[in-house]
Amino acid sequence: MDSVWLWVLLAGVGAASSVASVLVYARVRLTSPYPYWSVPSDEPTIVKVLRVAGFFLTMFPALMLASSTAVWIGALVLVGAWASLITAILISNAVRRQRQRISTLRA
């Protein structure tokens, strides 16, 4: 049971890395929205590194959890990581739209 929590912790680090990739992209590219279902074409290298690290640090523990406990636990970990990533993308794009509205009002 102790190793289960370590796998969940590692998956949490992977989800945090994926969210960090969105936040770094939003900070570097203030005017570009983060695409929902594709890869940004103008992303910096650090965003790629964070996204790939997030993918592997989420998938490997989810597969290990699915094989050592129950399949639904691995699926639950993946859904949690995906939901946090989608939430970060939605918030990032909403903040960008709000910034653009404010800048057009000032102009």
Instruction: Report percent pLDDT > 90 for the chain.
Output: 59
State residue 106's pLDDT score: 75
Query: What average pLDDT is seen over the chain?
Result: 90
3-53: pLDDT as tens digits: 888 999 999 999 999 999 999 999 998 888 888 788 888 889 999 999 999
Predicted pLDDT at 20 = 96
Q: 49 Cβ partners below 8 Å, 6+ apart?
A: none
Q: How confident is the model at residue 107 (pLDDT cuts 50, 70, 90)?
A: low
For the segment 79-90, the average pLDDT, to the nearest whole number, is 94
What is the CB neighbour count within 10 angstroms for residue 25? 24
Give the per-residue pLDDT at 87. Answer: 95
All structural domains of the chain with their residue ranges: 2-106
DSSP 54-96: HHHHHHHHHHHHHHHS-HHHHHHHHHHHHHHHHHHHHHHHHHH
